[in-house]
Copies of this chain bind each other. A is one copy, B any other.
Amino acid sequence: MTERYSTLSHLECPKCGARLDATVVQGTCDCGSPLLARYDLDAARGMSPAGRAPTLWRYHEVLPVSAESAVVSLGEGMTPLLPLPVHGKRIGVPDLWMKDEGLVPTGSFKARGAAVGVSRAAELGVRGIAMPTNGNAGAAWALYAARAGLRSLIAMPVDAPVITRAECVAAGAELYLVDGLISHAGALIRKALASRPDYQDVSTLKEPYRIEGKKTMGYEIVEQSGRRAPDVLLYPTGGGVGLIGIHKALDEMRELGWLTPETRLVAVQAEGCRPIVDAWEAGAAESVAPAAPTTIAFGINVPKPLGDFLILRALAETEGTAVAVTDEELLAAQRELAADEGAFVCPEGAACFAALIRLRESGWLRGDERVVVLNTGSGVKYPDTVRVDVPTISADGALPDPA
């Protein structure tokens, strides 16, 4: 058996079946579909992450970077899988867990895709990366690009979390704010690339390796559970890369002989932007963009995800479902979870906790399942989600007596 750092073999189109060379820079398939990385999984069967450092690179055999020396890392991965017994009991799902992606560089799970995507882009000779973003992805890619010595061109809606601007600027990115949605930012980036030939378009699913970084969340959840997959996994779904990635990871782990049972995957969206939920309920294979999408959970304000058919396929193949919640529900869930468990999650993660309540009430969840919620980032990047209304006391004053 060979001992290759990566067992990457080729790229494959999940729509038309085309097979592409993985040793050169690739974007999407000629048919328009995102591409998926494929590995020589027989050669990866001996992968033994247990003794390795606690980063996502412990799964390097099933990642696309060909040598350890080409890894661009800020220490991302092996985030906690936390039990939530108090909150789980309260909502009738006692075996409840949270994968906490607040504990990665940049405070958001976007770091995983950026680490792997930037590493592979730099290894293949890319000199600059360009992308539209709802904030966190742009911040992560700009910072990893800086670490790799690549330039970055980022466009984000003016409504994106303000802190992500500071991250891009600190990283030295060329940053533009856009008075519109991420789809408008995407159009601006595509036009700008015409005069920037040495930049790669690394928009969501327009290059094949971001998904490989995201899939490591699936590997970690299974490793941290003693090679047991959860019964149900809830994922806040905008572009859906993590959901597609975790689905891919579960498939790979079955091929590697790690797993047998299936995990039901649940896509969670906001009522103000629910293209996947609508498509799922209609039994459609693709989504239709809503007219005026809006939600406080900005990371999932994605009107028409490029990988919509892959998301819907993942839900169907795993007998999962799709659920939308209101902003009021998700903000209430964010507060309740923090008070119950001390975990201050991002609004996107909070949407999943709100969705749990709906799924339990509808009977889709019986209550005896092992359920993992993927919290995609730290609440500290969203100062406006919590209403703070507390007294200010003068320096020589006194605190009120207890009520």
Q: How many copies of this kind of chain does the complex include?
A: 2
Q: Are A390 and B107 in contact (CB under 8 A)?
A: no
Cα(A363)–Cα(B329), bound, Å: 59
Cα(A178)–Cα(B398), bound, Å: 10
Main secondary structure of the interface of A (DSSP, over half): mixed
Q: Are B155 and A344 in contact (CB under 8 A)?
A: no
Count class of interface residues, chain A: 35 or more
Cα(A336)–Cα(B339), bound, Å: 38
CB neighbors of B among A359-403 (8 A): 378-381, 383, 385-388, 390-399, 401-402
Determine if A80 is an interface residue (Cβ-Cβ < 8 Å).
yes
Report B-chain residues with C-beta under 8 Å of the C-beta of A188: 393, 397-399
Q: Are B107 and A378 in contact (CB under 8 A)?
A: yes
Interface-lining segment among A88-96, A168-176, A260-268, A309-317: A168-176
Among B73, B155, B196, which residue has its beta carbon within 8 angstroms of that of A393? Answer: B155
Cα(A379)–Cα(B170), bound, Å: 10
Q: Are A178 and B395 in contact (CB under 8 A)?
A: yes
Q: Are A402 and B195 in contact (CB under 8 A)?
A: yes
Cα(A398)–Cα(B380), bound, Å: 32
A342-B171, A343-B143, A395-B179 known; A163 vs B383 contact (CB < 8 Å): yes
Can you list 5 contacts pairing A with B, beta carbon distance less than 8 Å?
A107-B378, A144-B342, A155-B399, A177-B392, A191-B398
Q: Give me the interface of A with B, judged by CB distance under 8 Å.
A: 54-55, 72-75, 78-82, 86, 100, 102-107, 143-149, 153, 155, 158, 162-163, 165-167, 169-172, 174-181, 184, 188-189, 191-192, 195-196, 334-335, 338-344, 378-381, 383, 385-388, 390-399, 401-402
